[in-house]
Chain A
Amino acid sequence: MGRYIVRRLLIAIPTLFAISFIMYAILALAPIDPLSSFGADPRVPPEVREAIRHSLGLDEPWPVRYMKWVTGMLQGNFGFSFLSHSPVIDLIWQRLPNTLAVVGVAYIVGLVIALPVGMVSAVKRNSIADHIFSTGAYFGFSVPTFFTGLVLIIVFSVKLHWLPFVYNSNLKVEDVGSLAEQLRQSIMPIAVLGLFDAAVFTRYIRAEMLEHLPLDYVRTARAKGLLERLVIIRHVLRNSLIPVVTLVALGIPSVFGGAIVTEQIFHVPGIGELLVRSIFLGDTPVVTAVLMIFAVLVVLFNLLADVLYGVLDPRIRYA
């Protein structure tokens, strides 16, 4: 097992280098420009733009810029944002708490909802509850988050004036009042994302449970006279969760990646919002840093998922 992990980690190094090179090349060749936000503004004439470009080092050929960037990256230096002139890593640290508070919590909420719902759906297959849950899951799965987000805003913010839809990232949770405020401002984005995640997980859990329910070991357990509740929870659920756990682990990097659309709608300054804005504004140091961190997370959580699979299922052994 130890050797397996070490080998996988060693393979990851060239993979990450390849990712970094391809990503940098695409960004360097794409028609994005940190000066494009000036538009055709005559107050910023060509000479000025050229001077700014020079000061950002953009007049150097991109392979040279790539080498400098990789060298800095290996020393833990992610560089400076073209637009804010502040260290990229600071920007990411500023946004991570918001992303985790919204996207991360939504992920957990989704799981917490999906577990019982998926179970009930499978056990009481074709019952009214199953039909309701399955239809609901299908609905949550197919309706895009920007739509549910807007519906929630129009109902709860515009019509009822109950909830704010402009997220305040400076709110510090210190007491009951500020906790309530934090809940008020994050409940809509969490609901939008949580329901979507719940829909996805419910379908998986239901399908896995249905696969296991007719198997021999379940019949054996029942024949032993075990309580039905114990059969379901101790035997069927445990075995059904093995692929679900890997699915959850593989989904964690996307939590760090943020939720682009939902963050935009609710003004949540998360990683996804940072990434998209930086792409549009041509702030390549930020884009490369976020994508690189994302790539590392994907590689790590892939490994984690494989290892977890082995731990949970003794039939699988890695050599």
Chain B
Amino acid sequence: MGVAMLVAACGQSGQPTPTASGGAAASATTAATTRGAGGDLKILYWQAPTILNAHQATGTKDADASRLVLEPLASFGKDGLPIANGLASEIPTPANGGVSKDFKTVTWKLRSGVKWSDGTPFKASDVAFTFKYQCDKATAASTSTYCEGVDSVVAKDDTTVVVTYKDSQPFYYQWGVGGGNLILQEAQYKSCVGAAAKNCPADQKPIGTGPYKVDTFKPGDTVTYVMNENFRDPKKPYFKSVTFKGGGDAQGAARAAFQTGEADYAWNLQVDATILKPMASSSTLANLVTVYGSSVERILVNFADPSPSLGDKRGEPDTKHPFFSDKAVRRALAMATDRNTVASRFYGDGLIGKPTCNILTAPEPMNSKASASFDVCKFDLAAANKELDGAGWVKGADGVRAKGGVRLELTYQTTVNAIRQNTQNVMKQNWESVGFKVNLKSVDAAVFFTNTSPDGANHFWADVEMYTNSGDPDPTSYYNNGWSCSQVAAKANNWQSGNYARYCNKDFDAIIAQLRTETDQNKRNELATKANDLLIQDVAVIPIVNRTFATSAVAKSLKGVDPSPWDSEMYNIADWSK
């Protein structure tokens, strides 16, 4: 019902109007629960949490394990809009006056009477303190990106917090909402701000306002929680305790949930669809729960020259790729990309992924409908051949096309992963049939995502590379980091900037600049779609598969699990019951 209301409201004003009493739908299904009526809830993550403060997290596992204890002001719901299941009593919007007309100040009303799990009262000053902690440069919080552009967070009174942005901020929920903005207790963390944040013992056992509190924590192994008697909803949580076990591998986690029932919830089952599908469908114990969001497996096309003969100039943005600088070659590569086969064979035909030609797939109003008819989005080997013929790339005796001494020989790198190696093989076969020569390369994921490694995604010393990335409910930083001229990765910035492909296009940058200042939601949707279509038609990137954001096994007896692609899978754990 909450969702239906939301859609209607959006249709009328064009502005996002989140549900005022969010989580209404969820609480309706679990209204009958009694606190502590359930036994132990068993959660299994094949990556074990190592720290319980999301601001110091080094991965989803840590942020998720924190979420049982710590809460944000509000959570991001399925459509990317906030729901008031956190510390705020209602969601501020331009319509209710919570967001100022210039989109600079956001006034959050907090719930009154909320207590920390140690029994002390929660105050607006804790929220202001969290900002101080999170946004102090020396704290080195991994969530500090949410501080960007935030001028101040001030407690007006005990239940009112005002977030002020430096400039007009169309994404006014940036600070305070979702898994990156969990509120810490000032009393516990006041001596852990700045450089003192490192090795702070509170990170092992944070005091929170969430439904559970930490009982024991063995980093890299198991967290046990017990219910928080001071939780604001007297009927929740349902489970007396939670065991959050880490370790093993994805397939073992799937087995524990689907086949032996040793886990009620098994996280992120990155298992080959051919194994996962029969396991899930034959299970009497658990269901596979997934949700689609903005995670897109994509192929990046290098615009700089990665050849080792360049020495110090290798991959620098002022070099030009020998053949990808020719748009016809990029177009042909895109036309010879068979995303449907990959999606149906390796992603289980919608089980854990579906084909897409959009680099921005969510929120839904920003998901381009036009791209389906683009010629570069259609798998057509004849058209690819024609494109290359037309551009003067002629097939040699070995079947590889060349022009002016430049051969279409490329290196295609990705991480070591069964699905990805299968995908590489499909691509290689098709690309070689139109006259490319494809050399495959796979790198261990830990090395691939290291900024110091020459085999890393960011150095991109290859011609094409493949991995998955995703964005926030607002796409501005996703677009800006990925493809704007200012973010081109180069030696000068230690290969740390996000535009690994070294794509640079003034038209694209202009759209992003507009996206920064545009406040009308309909126009924002148009701009976001336009940016997507530009990248696709210019073949700056080749999207392949929209991957499920959450891919978890959930015991059939477990109720209330409803993952959102924009927030932690644990965002509504207070509502879970059996």
Known: A38-B58, A85-B51, A169-B221. A50 touches B496 (CB 8 A): yes
What is the CA–CA distance of A38 and B47 in the complex, to the nearest angstrom?
13
- Inter-chain contact B447/A31, CB cutoff 8 Å: yes
Query: Complex: how many Å from CA A21 to CA B56?
Result: 30
Per the bound structure, the CA–CA distance linking A86 and B62 in Å amounts to 14
Query: With A42-B471, A46-B497, A51-B144 given, is the CB distance from A35 to B457 under 8 Å?
Result: no
Contact indicator B140/A55 (Cβ below 8 Å):
yes
B450 and A170 within 8 A (CB): no
- CB proximity of A78 to chain B, nearest CB, Å: 13
Q: Note all chain A residues with C-beta closer than 8 A to B450.
A: 31-33, 35-36, 282
**CB under 8 Å from chain B, chain A span 14-54:** 31-46, 48-52, 54
Which range contains the number of A residues in contact with the other chain? Answer: 35 or more
Q: How far is the CB of A184 from chain B (nearest CB, A)?
A: 12
B467 within 8 A of A: yes
Interface digits, A158-173 against B, CB 8 Å rule (1 contact, 0 not)? Answer: 1001001110111000
Q: Which residues of A in the span 115-135 have a Cβ within 8 Å of any Cβ on B?
A: none
- Contact check, A273 vs B247: say whether CB atoms are below 8 A apart: yes
Closest to A52 in B: B140
Determine if A84 and B50 form an interchain contact, defined as CB atoms under 8 angstroms apart: yes
Query: Is the pair B218, A55 in contact by a Cβ cutoff of 8 Å?
Result: no
Which chain B residues border A161 with CB–CB below 8 Å? 260
In the complex, A265 has a CB within 8 A of chain B: yes
Q: Are A84 and B198 in contact (CB under 8 A)?
A: no
B519 CB within 8 Å of chain A:
no
A95 at the interface (CB under 8 A from B): yes
Instruction: Say yes or no: B455 contacts A31, CB within 8 Å.
Output: yes
Q: Hey, which chain B residues are within 8 Å of A282, CB to CB?
A: 446, 450
- Knowing A158-B259, A170-B222 are in contact, say whether A39-B142 is a contact too (CB < 8 A): no
**CB 8 Å contact bits of B447-490 with A (1 = contact, 0 = none):** 11111110111100000000101111000011001100000000
Given the known A-B contacts A44-B142, A267-B247, are A158 and B481 also in contact in the complex, defined by CB atoms under 8 Å? Answer: no
Q: Bound complex: CA of A84 vs CA of B259, how far in Å?
A: 32
Query: Cβ of A113 < 8 Å from any Cβ of B?
Result: no
Using known A-B contacts A38-B58, A81-B50, A265-B248, determine if residue A166 contacts B263 with beta carbons closer than 8 Å.
Answer: yes
- B245 CB within 8 Å of chain A: yes
Are B44's CB and A166's CB within 8 A?
A: yes
Question: Of B21-29, B199-207, B329-337, which binds chain A?
Answer: B199-207
Report whether B222 and A80 are in contact in the complex, using a CB–CB cutoff of 8 Å: no
Evaluate contact between A158 and B218: CB separation under 8 angstroms: no
Q: Is the beta-carbon distance between A277 and B472 smaller than 8 angstroms? A: no
Residues of B within 8 A of A37 (CB): 47, 58-59, 446, 449
A264 interfacial contact with B, CB 8 Å:
yes
Q: Does B36 contact A (CB under 8 A)?
A: no
B375 within 8 A of A: no
Is the beta-carbon distance between A51 and B140 smaller than 8 angstroms?
yes
Given contacts A40-B467, A54-B140, A85-B198, contact A280 B446 (CB under 8 A): yes
Q: Which residue of A lies closest to B144 (CB)?
A: A48
A158, A264, A281: which contacts B248 (Cβ < 8 A)? A264
B428-461 CB mask vs A (1 if < 8 Å, else 0) is: 0000000000000000011111111101111000
Indicate if the CB atoms of B58 and A31 lie closer than 8 Å: no
- Please, which residues of chain A bring their CB within 8 A of the CB of B83? none
Please name all residues of chain B whose beta carbon is closer than 8 Å to the beta carbon of A269 when the two chains form the complex.
48, 218, 220-222, 247
8 A Cβ contacts from A60-101 to B: 80-86, 91, 94-95
Roughly how many angstroms separate A44 CA and B198 CA in the complex, as a whole number? 18
A274 at the interface (CB under 8 A from B): yes
The residues of B that contact A83 with a CB separation of less than 8 Å are: 50-51, 58, 219-220
Taking the nearest CB of chain A, how far is it from the CB of B263, in angstroms? 7
* Residues of the A chain whose Cβ atoms lie less than 8 Å from the Cβ of B142: 38, 44, 48, 52
How distant is A186 from chain B, measured CB to nearest CB, in Å? 15
Per the bound structure, the CA–CA distance linking A42 and B142 in Å amounts to 11
Q: B180 near A: Cβ within 8 Å?
A: yes
With known contacts A85-B200, A273-B247, A42–B260 Cβ distance under 8 A: no
Contacts of B477 in A (CB 8 A): 42, 45
Whether B219 lies near A86 (C-beta < 8 A) is yes
Closest to A33 in B: B450
| Distance (whole angstroms) from the CB of B460 to the closest CB of chain A | 11
A residues 158-213 near B (Cβ < 8 Å) are 158, 161, 164-166, 168-170
Q: Which residues of the partner chain A approach B139 to less than 8 Å between Cβ atoms?
A: 55
Query: Which of B58, B448, B472 has most chain A Cβ within 10 Å?
Result: B58
**Can you report 20 residue pairs joining A to B where beta carbons are below 8 Å apart?**
A32-B447, A32-B450, A33-B451, A39-B449, A40-B498, A42-B472, A42-B482, A46-B494, A51-B138, A52-B140, A80-B198, A84-B219, A85-B203, A91-B219, A164-B262, A165-B262, A264-B249, A265-B252, A269-B220, A277-B220
Task: Known A-B contacts: A45-B145, A95-B221. Give 11 more (CB < 8 A).
Answer: A33-B453, A37-B47, A44-B142, A46-B494, A52-B142, A54-B140, A80-B199, A168-B222, A265-B252, A277-B247, A281-B446
- List 7 tightest A-B contacts by C-beta distance, closest first: A46-B496, A84-B219, A55-B140, A31-B453, A269-B221, A33-B450, A83-B50
